[in-house]
A and B are shown apart, each in its own frame.
Chain A
Amino acid sequence: MGEVILKMDGIQKYFPGVHALDNAHLEVRAGEVMALVGENGAGKSTLMKILTGIYQKDGGSIEYFGQEIEIHGPRDAQSKGICIVHQELNLMQDLTVAENIFIGREPGKGLFLNQGEQNRMTEELLASLHLNINARTQIKRLTVAKQQMVEIAKALSYQNTKVLIMDEPSTALTNSEIEDLFTFIRQLKATGVGIVYISHRMDELKQITDRITVMRDGQYVDTVNTADTTIDQVVQMMVGRVIYEEPKSHSNVPPDAEVVLEAEGLTSLDVKNVSFKLRKGEILGFAGLMGAGRTETMRLLCGADRRDSGTIRVRGKEVNIRSPKDAVNAGIGYLSEDRKLFGLCLGLSVADNTALPSLDKLSGPLFVDDGKIHKAATEYVDKIRIKTPTVKTLIRSLSGGNQQKVVIAKWLHRDCDVLIFDEPTKGIDVGAKSEIYKLMNQLAAEGKSIIMISSELPELLRMSDRVVVMCEGRVTGELDISEATQERIMTFATKRELEEAV
């Protein structure tokens, strides 16, 4: 392992009313992958923003190749060789790979652009990184993983990159794409670049990182060697308490329990003849790779998209769901994986968000009853332990986990018996995750029926009573939890390839 190239020590950062970083510490060696982990709000992003010059530190020192330096802004950081690949991709979809990489510093003379040269330089760069991407391809024609790699290539095209920060690069990737990314990272670190890898996915840390730095509440906790540490220990350091991640061994639902929801032959552009049954009090897991059609299936169920054919029965009675309104009336509530886009009105209060689907119930002949809304919201804040100063607080100031709980409250108050959770713990920190798990189990025990889409297999195995596996828009397998393993699920999830091989 190489020399220490970057050392941040005793970093302090204050925001009005918040001590965001208190004595934060980070060390990166040449040719290593250093994981930076911590719950949301632990200060990872703030620390990285200081390192990349977006924020200025209020105290502490940054040592870079043995010299103490100040970083005056993003450009300064870049010129010093510190680059970041953000979680959200910042590429211009209609431009080509080459145009994106060299944006703002295009080769050419005066006003004229030398496109040939630009493409040649890009091809050279991509080849040096062993990337099989055409420089002339429009970004929007690439998969998300490839786009991610273009972002990384762009960061590395600043010749002298010595430290590369990757902020949750795997969030949008499928498992095989993640493998590609990891191969790429391994090649990269062999060239002596120090990599800071931020991730919420614990299983990845074992695979790709050399050391792990843990932060909690803006403070440095510890740095450990990945090889000598278990994931449980890391999680414990992150939350400061023990969390159990045990798979469910058997289903809690009797096989003769009432069928609450039955889908038969659901079909649309991305969904092919999908059928399944959901029983009372059951948590039905939906597994599959990205693009397997799980979210698309659920959007048909909740009326967000129109289905071409197929029937939906609720408690044995056929319901014609043509709009979200119909689905809500049938008691089906959908919790989207993107809360901010599809689940919540960020500018409204906790109470108004909770009341939104059930305003009919909470209104008199003319006016809404704010007293009733207040009371209902307070009830759910207590019941499912939503952490908020008051129910009048704007939803945007709540943490991800608590926002998610408000979406749950919204459907519970609407008397939905079927709750569809699409990636319920995405972007939620570890502590809040187990809160959500507890809540889901509690709801199932109370007789609600839950569909849960998740891309994290340990989560599916821990929560589900039964797992439906999808691939390419079809159901390729169904497993009782007692017989489900990660391997079996993955086999079904990639069944397409097997069939093609036959």
Chain B
Amino acid sequence: MKLNEKKIDMQKVLAPAALVILYVFFSVVGDGFLSMTVFKNILESSYYIGFMAFGVTFIIITGGIDLSLGTVMMCAALLGAYTFKQLHFPLIVSLLVAVLVGAVFGFLNGVMVAKLKLPPFIATLGTMMMSQGFGSIITKVQSQTWPTATEPVGGWFKKVFIRADLFGVKGFPVGVFWLIGFFVIAALILHKTKFGRYVFAIGSNEEAARLSGINVDNWKIAVYTLSGIFVGLSGIMYAAAYTTITPGTGNGQEMNGITGVVIGGTSMSGGSGTMVGTLIGVFIMSVLKTGLSNLNLQAPWQTFFTGLVVIGAVLLDIQRTKAANRVKKS
């Protein structure tokens, strides 16, 4: 029994160790990987993955899944830009629109899963396609741009979310504050609130939770909606980092988020996980992405390796579950 407990503790250090190893690996084989520019790139691509992952952590702990993360994120970013550039609303309104788009799709997912009892996989597969189509329909398949740093109107957008001259540093990565800030909020919600406790209870045994007098359906809707809000925020961070949003994209981005969560130790079968783990998992994903492009291996390679990591992470998850069950038996 002791042996197995040690094994589980091993799993806890596995993700941080993987992050360090990956970082060292790219530093050795990469060209100038240790530079400030690359470091900033790592941070910048971790923002939007991070927000997706924080949200979907809640869903995965309840035993669900959300495949619509990527396309809803793009839809939020598209519609935000559309309200700003085409409809000429103030930028603050388009930020709210982005969050709202995320929340609405999240709520929709929640209602389908909790009330209509659709399997999360199918329900979110549906919204994945709906959100992709919806963004294209509204924008008439035109790319949308968010304001760049030099634009007179809304030039503050990048300065607030991505980089600004701060503390005497030129181009300080301010997005880190948002990432850490919302990480703390997500961690507090997950680990310190009643809501968070119910998330674990539902994932561990939904029927037992229901019979304990918990309104499981409503809490589930809340979980998916909360995740949707985080996805909306990730749309904003994506927009701030990459400026131009193309309709019809976003497909596959959800895997960055989901993989980050699973590498971070959250079980796909629900009931266990931590927000710190997710944060580490997110950095693993962004180091991987940035490292590969640093080696001049572009998008196709990144997709290929993400797929590989997904499989690896889920294999790891299966081993973890097995180890936990072994402890139970002996």
**Chain A interface (Cβ < 8 Å from any Cβ of B):** 15-18, 20, 302, 304, 323-325, 327-329, 334, 336, 340-348, 352, 355-357, 359-360, 363, 366-368, 370, 396-397, 410, 414
Question: CB distance B197 to A16 under 8 Å?
Answer: no
Complex Cα gap A340–B2 (Å): 24
B194 touches A348 (CB 8 A): no
Chain A residues with CB under 8 Å of B300's CB are: none
Across the interface, B194 reaches (CB within 8 A) one of A16, A324, A334, A359, namely A359
Measured in the bound complex, the distance between the Cα atoms of B3 and A15 in whole Å is: 10
Bound complex: CA A323 to CA B214 (Å):
9
The complex places the Cα of A285 from the Cα of B192 at a distance, in Å, of: 41
Report the Cα distance A285→B205, complex, angstroms.
28
- A218 vs chain B, min Cβ distance (A): 12
| B41 at interface by CB-CB < 8 Å | no
Q: Are B214 and A347 in contact (CB under 8 A)?
A: no
For residue B10, CB closer than 8 A to chain A, the reply is: no
Show 6 A/B contacts (Cβ-Cβ < 8 Å), sorted by A.
Answer: A324-B212, A342-B211, A346-B205, A347-B205, A357-B214, A368-B192
Chain B 1-39 per-residue mask, 1 if CB under 8 angstroms from chain A, else 0 = 111100000000000000000000000000000000000
B50 interface residue (CB < 8 Å to A) = no
B211: contacting residue among A17, A336, A359, CB under 8 A: A336
B192 & A348 in contact (Cβ 8 Å cutoff)? no
Beyond known contacts A15-B1, A17-B1, A342-B205: 9 more, CB 8 A cutoff: A304-B210, A304-B211, A336-B211, A341-B207, A341-B208, A345-B204, A345-B205, A356-B197, A368-B196
Could you tell me if B330 and A344 are in contact, using CB atoms closer than 8 angstroms?
no
Is B110 part of the contact surface with A, judged by Cβ < 8 Å? Answer: no
Enumerate chain A residues within 8 angstroms of B324, measured Cβ to Cβ.
347, 396
Chain A positions within 8 Å of B272 at CB level: 347
A345 and B207 contact, Cβ closer than 8 Å, known pairs A16-B330, A18-B330, A368-B193: no
Whether A16 pairs with B2 at a CB distance below 8 angstroms is: yes
**Dominant SS among interface residues on chain B:** helix
Task: Report how far A302 CA is from B209 CA in the complex, Å.
Answer: 13
Q: Contacts A367-B188, A368-B192 known; A302 to B201 CB distance under 8 Å?
A: no
Q: Are B207 and A342 in contact (CB under 8 A)?
A: yes
B55 within 8 A of A: no
B213 within 8 A of A: yes
Could you tell me the distance in whole angstroms from the C-beta of A366 to the nearest C-beta in chain B?
7
Complex CA distance for A302 and B207, rounded to whole angstroms? 13
Once the chains bind, are A329 and B213 in contact (CB under 8 Å)? yes
A328 to B207, CA, bound (A): 14
CB atoms of A16 and B4 under 8 A apart: yes
Beta-carbon contact of B211 and A343 below 8 Å: yes
Residues of A within 8 A of B328 (CB): 346, 396-397
A348: chain B residues within 8 A (beta carbon): 200-201, 204, 271
Q: How far is the CA of A340 from the CA of B197 in the complex (A)?
A: 19
Query: In the assembly, what is the distance between CA of A498 and CA of B85, in Å?
Result: 83
Given A302-B211, A324-B212, A347-B272, A356 and B201 contact (CB-CB distance below 8 Å):
yes
Q: A16-B330, A397-B328 are in contact. Are A359 and B198 (CB under 8 A)?
A: yes
Given contacts A345-B205, A347-B272, A363-B194, whether A357 and B3 have CB atoms under 8 Å apart is no
| Nearest CB in chain A to that of B215: its residue | A325
In the complex, B327 has a CB within 8 A of chain A: yes
Closest Cβ–Cβ distance, residue B270 to chain A (whole Å):
8
State the CA gap A223–B104 with chains docked (Å): 69
Closest 6 CB pairs of A and B: A328-B213, A345-B204, A347-B271, A16-B3, A347-B204, A367-B192
- Bound form: Cα–Cα A344–B203 in Å: 12
A368–B194 touching, CB < 8 Å: yes
Residue pair B209, A345 in contact (C-beta under 8 Å): yes
User: CB distance B200 to A17 under 8 Å?
Assistant: no
Complex contact A324–B1 (CB within 8 A)? no
Are B188 and A357 neighbours in the complex by a CB distance under 8 Å?
A: no
A336 to B1 CA separation, bound complex (whole angstroms): 29
Q: Report yes or no: B200 in contact with A345, Cβ–Cβ below 8 A.
A: yes
Chain B residues closer than 8 Å to A327, beta-carbon distance: 213
**Contacts of B268-283 to chain A: CB distance below 8 A:** 271-272
Least CB distance, A418 to chain B, in whole angstroms: 14
Q: A342 contacts which of B204, B208, B214, B215 (Cβ < 8 Å)? A: B208
Contacts A15-B330, A363-B194 given; does A356 touch B209 at CB 8 Å: yes
Closest to B192 in A: A367
Cα A68 to Cα B311 in complex, Å, equals 46
Q: Are A345 and B208 in contact (CB under 8 A)?
A: yes
Specify which chain A residues have a CB less than 8 angstroms from the CB of B1 in the assembled complex.
15-18
Known: A352-B201, A359-B194, A360-B194. A344 touches B208 (CB 8 A): yes
Select A357's contact among B2, B193, B213, B215, beta carbons within 8 Å.
Answer: B213
Interface of chain B residues 202 through 231 with chain A (CB within 8 A): 203-205, 207-215
The complex places the Cα of A327 from the Cα of B213 at a distance, in Å, of 7
Report the Cα distance A336→B212, complex, angstroms: 11
Point out the residues of chain A lying under 8 angstroms from B192, CB to CB: 366-368, 370
Chain B positions 154 through 196: 1 when the CB is less than 8 Å from some CB of chain A, otherwise 0: 0000000000000000000000000000000000100011101
CA distance A253 to B224 in the complex (A): 50
- Name which residue of chain B comes closest to A335, CB basis: B211
Residues of B within 8 Å of A367, CB to CB, are: 188, 192-193
A360 contacts across to B, CB distance below 8 A: 194
Given A359-B194, A363-B193, A367-B188, check contact A324 B213 (CB 8 Å).
yes
How many angstroms from the CA of A325 to the CA of B216 in the assembled complex?
Answer: 10
For residue B29, give the distance in angstroms from its CB to the closest CB of chain A: 39
Cross-chain contact of B197 among A328, A343, A352 (Cβ < 8 A): A352
Query: Please, how many angstroms separate the alpha-carbon atoms of A360 and B214 in the complex?
Result: 11
